[in-house]
Amino acid sequence: MKAFAYERARDAAAAVAAGADGATFLGGGTNLVDLMKLGVAEPQRLVDVSKLPFDAIEETPEGRLRIGAAVRNTDLAAHPLVRERYPVLSQALLAGASGQLRNLATVGGNLLQRTRCSYFQDVTKPCNKRRPGSGCPAVEGEHRNHAILGHSEHCVATHPSDMAVALAAIGASVHVLGANGERTIPIPGLHRLPGERPQHDTVLNGGDLITAVELGAPAPRSVYRKVRDRASFAFAVFSVAAVVEPADGALQDVRIALGGVAHTPWRAERAEAVLRGAEATPERFAEAAEAELAEARPLRDNAFKVPLARNVLIRTLAELTA
Amino acid sequence: MDADLTLRINGTEHELTVDVRTTLLDLLREHLGLTGAKKGCDHGQCGACTILIDGRRANACLALAVAHDGAELTTVEGLAQNDELHPLQAAFIEHDAFQCGYCTPGQLCSAIGMIEEARDDGATLDAAEIGERMSGNVCRCGAYPNVVAAIADTIA
């Protein structure tokens, strides 16, 4: 591991100033420390933000939840109000990583974790995300687990977070403190598609510090379904987070986000449009899934994800509305 | 860059000066001779390095020591009390829950943390639930059924 200077942030403003000056924020370290060992990340200055006072889960006057960025994944998944009002979020968190990792990992760090594309993690290989302009071997190489939606010729990697997929379905906003003060960024909207600049995972700038995530309206009728290559402790081959609000036999509101298919958590707006106000029938679910996946551009070895996504989406919606 | 830090490890306070790149795992093994926690993958994927940090299970290989200044650590060396094995250690022997033993210190620390987490969650630890919650600990010998049996026996 390359040498670096370490400091514990005195307060949020000091962290932002250090970040704007080129420092890298350290949360739980479960991804960053690993990337430093691999030589993928080589920060010269680490500013530890994990001890800043952003470790509370608070109820807002509207009955929503505001989650501090330093809250550990375990504590968020286990929180009684999360389990009661946002089961999709609790399920997504528990579907990710392992118990040990969830005890270390923070909410802010979970959102900002990097792709697990094997070329990105291997410094002996080209990668446009790690070394802009060097090329993307995954386009022609090992890409079974890569994107089918929204990718570019420059990058076909997927975003690895389960939590972010749940947040995209719930509708959340990220509170950010930056050099020019506070602002909020919606999820989806924090993460960006690769386009010609896959080195940028998100719309954040240097020095932008995530301080909290505020959840949208409670989503008591919601579910997270994850498909992976082994029963536990693996990244998603495909996942779906779904939130429904049924009324009088029809679907008043439906929000769907997909994981393991794109460079961002993928909000399935085309599928939602088909379902909004519609009756909850298998035919409609199939129509919705096909509407969303009509835009899919699978790679040589991951075309299986298209029917997989279709079938899991249909079944998940059926179970959620049964 | 070096940093001074204080850690309470298995009940004993240690004042240390370490390079800030040092992980808790390397600190335990290389600086203090506590080689119970194992270096398997060194990337958080196998769980052999699992210890308890302030009572919670964590991968020591991904934890920079400097970021845990002031923490209380428990390693497998701290589980037995006065030559009396921790009930889970005794259950591992009783159920033959290991073959080569390399993953065992991590399995033990992980299971102790896991049992606490399940208690907080109000979860029922049947065999499937134990398996799911212990998925961060990989055993190359495949002793999983007996690991699950030992844990189930301990909480019965």
Cβ atoms of residues A40 and A123 within 8 Å: yes
Tell me, yes or no, whether B68 and B21 share the same domain.
yes
Specify if B62 maps to a domain: yes
Q: CATH number of the domain that B62 lies in? A: 3.10.20.30
Q: Using an 8 Å Cβ cutoff, are A133 and A125 in contact?
A: no
Residue B127 lies in a domain: yes
B chain contacts of residue A34, beta-carbon cutoff 8 Å = 43-44, 62
* CATH code of the domain containing B118: 1.10.150.120
Q: Is residue B135 domain-resident?
A: yes
pLDDT digits (tens, 9 = 90+) for B39-77: 999 999 999 999 999 999 999 999 999 999 999 999 999
ipTM score of complex: 0.98
Structural domain span for residue B119: 87-155
The answer on B92 and B39 residing in a single domain is: no
How much is the average pLDDT of A174-192?
97
For chains A and B, CB pairs below 8 A equal 86
CATH architecture of the domain formed by A57-112+159-215: 2-Layer Sandwich (3.30)
φ and ψ at residue B18, rounded to 5 degrees:
-135, 155
Q: Is the pLDDT of residue A150 over 80?
A: yes
Query: What are the tens digits of pLDDT across the range A36-77?
Result: 999 999 999 999 999 999 999 999 998 899 999 999 999 999
Residues B51 and B114 grouped into a single domain: no
Domain boundary among B75, B108, B126: B75
CATH topology classification for A222-321: Enolase-like; domain 1 (3.30.390)
Grouping H, G, I as helix, E, B as strand and the rest as coil, residue A117 is: coil
% of chain B surpassing 90 pLDDT: 96
Cβ contacts of A23 on chain B, cutoff 8 Å: none
Indicate whether B54 belongs to any domain: yes
Query: A249 pLDDT exceeds 80?
Result: no
pLDDT value, residue A315: 98
**Residue B34 sits in the same domain as residue B97:** no
Q: Is residue B118 part of a domain?
A: yes
Task: Please answer yes or no on whether B20 and A50 come within 8 Å at the CB atom.
Answer: no
CA distance B22 to A1: 10
Is B43 domain-assigned? yes
Tokens of A65: 């939840």
The total number of structural domains that make up chain B? 2
Q: Looking at the DSSP assignment, which residues form a beta bridge with residue A68?
A: A212
> How far is A257 from A272, CA to CA, in rounded Å?
10
Q: pLDDT tens digits, residue range A270-290?
A: 999 999 999 999 999 999 999
What per-residue confidence (pLDDT) applies to A250?
86
- Asked if residues A151 and A263 have their Cβ atoms less than 8 Å apart, the reply is yes
Report the pLDDT value the prediction gives residue A186, as an integer from 0 to 100. 98
Q: What angle do CA A42, A28, A192 make, to 5 degrees?
A: 65
pLDDT for the residue numbered B122 = 86
CA distance A187 to chain B (A): 28
Could you tell me if B16 and B63 lie in one domain? yes
- Rounded to an integer, the average pLDDT of A125-130 is 98
Give the pLDDT score at B38. Answer: 98
Arithmetic mean of pLDDT, B89-96 = 98
Residue ranges per domain, chain A? Answer: 57-112+159-215, 222-321
Which residues of chain B neighbour A46 with C-beta distances below 8 Å?
20
